[in-house]
Amino acid sequence: MAKRDDTVLQLERSEAADYLAGMLRGLREVANGADLRFLGYLIEVAMQEAQAEKARTDSR
């Protein structure tokens, strides 16, 4: 369950991984659209790790 303090939204591990994967997906599209291929690749790797972390966390 998400909690909010004065400065930061605090998420559980699975929620954070899911949120980050979504944000990274958008950033990857921006990078690829601007022909920043290497940056797009790095973002893709991070996105895949976030998705894998969500899957690992959800399977516990």
Q: What is the pLDDT of residues 7-35, one digit of tens each?
A: 567 889 999 999 999 999 999 999 999 99
Q: Is residue 5 part of a domain?
A: no
- Work out how many domains the chain is built from and give that number: 1
Q: Is residue 33 part of a domain?
A: yes
What range defines the domain where residue 42 resides?
13-58
Q: Is residue 27 part of a domain?
A: yes
Whole-structure pTM value: 0.81
The pLDDT > 90 percentage for the chain reads 80
Q: Is residue 53 part of a domain?
A: yes
Closest C-alpha to 20, from 58, 52, 60, 59: 52
Q: Is residue 8 part of a domain?
A: no
The whole-number pLDDT of residue 11 equals 87
Closest C-alpha to 11, from 2, 19, 20: 2
40 token code pair:
């797009």
